[in-house]
Amino acid sequence: MYKARTKYSMLSSGRTQFLDTAVECSELTLPYLVRQDDDATGKRTLLQPYQSVGAKAVVTLAAKLMLAILPPQTAFFKLQMREDKLGEQFDPALKSEMDLSFSKIERLIMEYIAASNDRVVVHQALKHLIVSGNALIFMGKDGLKHYPLNRYVVERDGNGNVIEIITKEMVSRKVLGIAPPTPNDEVNSDAEYGAGEDDAEVYTCVKMDESSGSWRWHQEVDDMILAGSQSTAPKNASPWLVLRFNTVDGEDYGRGRVEEFIGDLRSLDGLSQALVEGASVASKVIFLVSPSATTKPQTLANAGNGAIIQGRPEDVGVVQVGKTADFATAANLAAQLEKRILEAFLVMNIRNAERVTAEEVRLTQLELEKSLGGLFSLLTVEFLVPYLNRTLLILQRSNQIPRLPKDVVRPKIVAGINSLGRGQDNEALTTFIATVAQTLGPEALMKYIDPSEAIKRLAAAQGIDVLNLVRTAEQLEQMKQMTQQDATNKSLVDQAGQLAGTPLLDPSKNPDVADQAAAVLGNLQPPEE
């Protein structure tokens, strides 16, 4: 059995080409993002590109993907009842009530995510995905943690499923509570394991246990397992999420978006460098004085603004760089490259307004789906589904949400083009009601559509809590009875008023009118308080 440090070194050889490409892609976009494995301390001077197009492209695409997979105001998932488990005798009204309950649970989960640092870590991971094509996220008790490509190795089977993950990080020995290594330790015979080091290399080994069908992991320092570092997790709720941007059959690591357009980025960076350096040379002002001129260079150099000196204008000339046409050619090519890159990374002009309409958001998602359709499917499988399963497991174990029966309730991801979440259900429901009203008329709408049920479904589609907001059936029945009683009372009052004008009920003509009026008014019932 290999130790984690030895296995990490073995798997690193298969990661080398991917890491080298990722470093080059990072140098052309965000130089601080990806570094070599031996540059963990960050002491190496970073090379700065001559253009900011790459950085703008990566940041913009990461922000769009973030809004697509984890929208801030709507849920990226919805809880559904399994139709095959409900049975034919399942009450439809109960299903509606369950949808409202699911909406409440969804809000609790989204509030939990909003209160955590998940979106910050996910946004950082998305930038790594775009640049390097790979990212590793660990869902711990204290929140998410991201590992860049130079800090982990992965091994997959023939189907692309992860079978082993090993991470590497530097941790202070004081924090770990272990003594520094001694020169006689065989483990620390290498130069990187010199005596007196304050930091230790901690390796976390994650493996899939086929016998139990669960994930198991532990941590090692100096080839020794740390006490209390062993842990397990269910197969479908692993806290270790290995993400890829693009996949190639047979490769353990992914390919980034920047790698697909690295040729244009290289060319643009070279042209930008040439234009910057050429413009610097062209902007330098140098005066030439003829050797046989009467004008003395010293006199010209010492002359102030507006000074009067002796000389001839033809004796003095200015050095000019005759490369204007070449600069224009380079600038035009650079503009074309910039346009191609910005289009590839979906840097579109968005209407500058306080609020963006749902239609504009939908069009943006459609553009993302057209350009990066496969990415959403991959992120759904490798990130959203395990992320949601792990979040549900954590909240259920901590009793923050009720336990959901797996056989009856299942979550459904609504991301990417459906990133509006339940808003899509809302739009479909309103469109259906409007179509019925326009096609069959308002009479058919009131005849065949149940208003109370429609209100419940609209509320569930928008994730609104209808408690004490929408009247129940009992309250509606009470209001109906009160309305009928008020109408009856009003009718009796009107009758009494009409009779009061008759001779029969005139007190001057009929002495018994008071008793008759009291009898009529006695039938009026006061409204219920």
pLDDT for res 269: 94
* Shared domain check, 107 and 36: yes
What end-to-end distance do the CA atoms of the chain give, in Å? 81
* Shared domain check, 446 and 317: no
Instruction: Please state, in angstroms and rounded to a whole number, the distance separating the CA atoms of residues 287 and 168.
Output: 60
C-alpha distances in Å from residue 254, one per residue of 182, 244, 257: 40, 5, 10
* Shared domain check, 505 and 461: no
* Shared domain check, 140 and 223: yes
pTM above 0.85, yes or no: no
Choose one of 344, 375, 410: the last residue of a domain: 344
pLDDT for res 147: 95
* Shared domain check, 179 and 93: yes
Residue 393 domain flag: no
* Shared domain check, 310 and 237: no
pLDDT for res 13: 93
Amino acid at 425: D
Residue 384 domain flag: no
Burial 346-385 (b: 16+ CB within 10 A, else e): bbeeeeeeeeeeeeebbebbeebbeebeebbebbbebbbb
For the chain, what is the domain count? 4
Query: Which single residue is written with the structure tokens 């798997």?
Result: 11
Residue 178 domain flag: yes
φ, ψ at 144 (rounded to 5°): -85, 150
- Alpha helix locations (H) across 187-296? 257-260, 262-282
Of 4, 9, 1, give the one whose Cα is nearest residue 224.
4
* Shared domain check, 181 and 142: yes
* Shared domain check, 98 and 55: yes
pLDDT for res 193: 41
Instruction: Please state, in angstroms and rounded to a whole number, the distance separating the CA atoms of residues 133 and 128.
Output: 7
* Shared domain check, 241 and 108: yes
| Pairing verdict, β 240-244 and 231-234 | unpaired
Residue 431 is encoded by which pair of tokens? 């469109």
Residue 14 domain flag: yes
pLDDT for res 424: 56
Q: 324-344 vs 53-69: helix axis angle to the nearest 10? A: 10
* Shared domain check, 182 and 53: yes
Of 116, 170, 119, 125, give the one whose Cα is nearest residue 147.
125
Instruction: Please state, in angstroms and rounded to a whole number, the distance separating the CA atoms of residues 114 and 31.
Output: 30
Query: Is residue 55 a contact partner of residue 25, using CB atoms and an 8 Å limit?
Result: no
Tens-digit pLDDT profile for residues 327-367: 889 999 999 999 999 988 988 655 544 455 555 556 666 66
Choose one of 299, 326, 344: the last residue of a domain: 344
Residue 199 domain flag: yes
Residues of the chain predicted below pLDDT 50 = 188-196, 352-354, 419-423, 529
Choose one of 344, 370, 390: the last residue of a domain: 344
Instruction: Please state, in angstroms and rounded to a whole number, the distance separating the CA atoms of residues 167 and 372.
Output: 29
Q: Is 447 helix (H, G, I), strand (E, B) or coil?
A: helix
* Shared domain check, 230 and 319: no
Structural domain range at position 196: 4-260
| Pairing verdict, β 162-172 and 409-413 | unpaired
Centre a 10 Å sphere on the Cβ of residue 104 and count the other Cβ atoms it contains.
16
Residue 51 domain flag: yes
* Shared domain check, 268 and 136: no
HSE at residue 166, side-chain half, CA atoms within 13 A, is 19
Residue 357 domain flag: no
Residue 392 domain flag: no
